[in-house]
Amino acid sequence: MIENIKYGNLETAMEYCKRNRTEEWIQQFLRCDGHNVALADGLLIEERFYTGIVQFDITLLNNIKDGAPEYLSKKDDIDYFFSIVDEMVESTAYWNPPPLIIEFRSDNGFYVCDGRHRLEMFRQKNVKVIPAIVWTTGKDDYEKLKEIIKC
């Protein structure tokens, strides 16, 4: 799984972001290694504002419970979720995971749109600051976001 990636690593994301091509990296990652075409399509519906890669304080995601996402209710699905997390934990010796893709809404806080496996991996490893790209819909929310995180 981790061996054959093209966009799903921090180094590639950083290269795109350095060239001000954050949105392009997000689209490539989600459509290829990220396997999240629905999110990629959804992000194109209207104008979004992106931070680039930031060092994100994981405590800002306290609204998201530890463990498997709430929408996973079957034991097989939960077991599969944790098998992916376990593989990611083992792979960090030679793989730098890509940044989480997080949405910010001033009325609802932060939401992980892509990266729940990576979030759980970071939590299991007791990492307190994680790489993330945060996006908003609307300039007002982006201005509020800049007050919360350094971007």
Q: How confident is the model at residue 62 (pLDDT cuts 50, 70, 90)?
A: confident
Residue whose entry in the numeric block shows the structure tokens 């209710």: 73
Q: For residue range 134-149, list pLDDT tens digits in order.
A: 999 999 999 999 999 8
Indicate the average pLDDT of the chain.
93
Q: Cα–Cα distance between 30 and 26 in angstroms, integer?
A: 6
Q: Which domains does the chain have, with CATH numbers?
A: 48-148 (3.90.1530)
pLDDT of residue 84: 94
Are 7 and 13 spatial neighbours (Cβ–Cβ below 8 Å)?
yes
Average pLDDT over residues 124-143: 96
Are 98 and 7 spatial neighbours (Cβ–Cβ below 8 Å)?
yes
pLDDT of residue 150: 72
